[in-house]
Chains A and B, each alone.
Chain A
Amino acid sequence: MKLEMKDTPGQLVTALKPISEAGGNIIAIVHQRDATSTSDTIDVQVVLELAEKRLGPLIEDLKQHGVRVQRIGKERLIHRRDFIIIGHIVHTDLSDTVDQIDRTGFSEVSEIQMVMPGIHEPSTARITIKATHADDMQRAVEILRRIAVHKDILVIEPVEEVL
């Protein structure tokens, strides 16, 4: 979110406090002071993780502290992981595979790129899963592993989690 606040000492702390009080996890802060600016306010961009229902109260709280929220860019599913799957992906009902992950509500398949070299040969696909939280991603991975065992698909997982 992009915040506008008074250019006085201590204002940044004043702005960040309500975020942590709301249970928000601050990921990054971009705070650029323009030396030539004559404005008595500064803009600060904050990247944070927050449960959706707490967003409204947070904006109110910030306003009361003299901080105006200019803009909010929302990405609900911030955890993203790529997998490679190998096997008879289409013939073991690809839409069911995708659906099992999508219908969790906390994770979804956002991209699939598939290569099918021959009719009876195994297909290979890169599949991207997005999830709301790290725990949800872990649960989605477990679902994918279960599907893989059931449908005899090889899942190649990444070594490290990529945010």
Chain B
Amino acid sequence: MPTLANYLLASGILFAVGLGGVMLRRSIIIIFMSLEIMLNAANLALIAFSRYGLVSGHQVFDAQILVFFIITVAAAEVAVGLAIIVSLYRARQTTHVEDLDTLKF
């Protein structure tokens, strides 16, 4: 039987993979995909706590409701983010973050 630590470590490693993608990749689309991986790693931890933390033998579904809301917000975020990337590409003809340094000090 898998322990809670197994799930938390899997979730943490997945989060670290997403964090690595955000910090090491230079294409804005791949950075956006890595953000999605990080959101999903948090979801895995929430679902694991929801299954392991029983109250007198019964499951409490609050964590799963939170995951439901996170999935909805992430869908809205993807739509808006990709629209921003498209209008950025129209203005600059690039998706490489090092070429988008107008706001850099």
Q: Is the A/B pair a real complex?
A: no
User: Which positions in B face A, CB cutoff 8 Å?
Assistant: none
Interfacial residues, chain A to chain B (CB-CB below 8 A): none
